[in-house]
Copies of this chain bind each other. A is one copy, B any other.
Amino acid sequence: MYVQRPIAILDSGVGGLTVVKEVMRQLPLERIIYFGDTARTPYGPRPAAEVQQFTREIVDYLIQFNPKMIVIACNTATAVALDLIRDCCEVPVIGVIYPGARAAIGLTQSGQVGVIGTEGTIQSGAYEQALKRLNPHIHVLSQACPAFVPLVEQGNFRSSETLAAVEQSLRTLKQGQIDSLILGCTHYPFLTETIAEVMGPDVRLISSADETAREISTILQTQGMLASQNIVPIHQFCCSGEAQMFKTIAQQWLNEEIVQTPVVWHVPKIGTLPKIG
């Protein structure tokens, strides 16, 4: 059985492109429709009710593309809106928090796991809850890193300013005994090299992106919903904010994958969202 409908992936901005890249790499037959809410990024400092409303608006928009699955590729939105979206959709809806939690549980030897994320994600306690729901013996150290998302949205991945911000944000966490650190925001994999440099070689970094792609694969395959092997997928990208910056970051980040696959830079129809491209 083949299901050619796209996988809808949404994020507050460019962070969800880390999930897109892994889905393109691990499941190159699958078609993606992506929405980055770059006009309203970051979601991290916003009240939960507002994030729920934004997420709901984007899902309502993406539903028009008849997706076979919805992926909330934003930790903040997963933390506060996953259950809400699940309740109003007929297709499988997955977030990025449980995949990261599962990976950490699989990797940790010491049982001491660190989590970094936006204020919204850390304050929600969603990672601690997921980790302890699966394995109550895990000890969790959490740290909000509000400085990281703006750096990524500006494409500022590897500067001395970025290194200083990462060192400052992770100072407390470094004093703990963690052996695994969940990058609990889909923007953070853009900063992997800097975070690895600061945390040192004994701490394994866990990207939600890789794990989420693997769980998308698990759910589509076990439910008989993979795409056909004979069709080259055409991906679509939408953003709500300034189009050129989004397109530049997306092309830079997805480079290797994107050259092998046709891409449409889509024109969103929500409200007054500006045109891409």
Contact = CB atoms under 8 A, between A and B. Distances in A.
Interface of A: 22, 26-29, 92, 94, 98-99, 102-103, 105-106, 132-137, 210, 213-215, 217-219, 221-222, 226, 229
Contacts of A106: 22, 26, 210, 213-214
B221 A27 contact: no
Given A28-B135, A99-B218, A106-B210, 7 more contacts: A26-B134, A28-B136, A92-B222, A102-B218, A132-B229, A134-B217, A134-B221
A226 B26 contact: no
Given A221-B98, A222-B92, A26 B105 contact: yes
Contact of A218 (B132, B136, B219): B219
A135 to B, nearest CB: 6
For this chain, the copies found in one complex come to 2
A229 B137 CA distance: 11
A106 B211 CA distance: 9
A2 to B, nearest CB: 11
Nearest to A27: B134
A94 B27 CA distance: 20
Contacts of A213: 106
A133 B102 contact: no
Contact of A26 (B22, B135, B217): B135
A136 B92 contact: no
Contacts of A137: 28
A215 B98 CA distance: 12
A126 to B, nearest CB: 13
Contacts of A226: 133-134
Contacts of A26: 102, 105-106, 134-135
A30 B219 CA distance: 21
A241 to B, nearest CB: 31
B218 A133 contact: no
B218 A27 contact: no
Given A26-B106, A135-B26, A136-B28, A218 B215 contact: yes
A229 B133 contact: yes
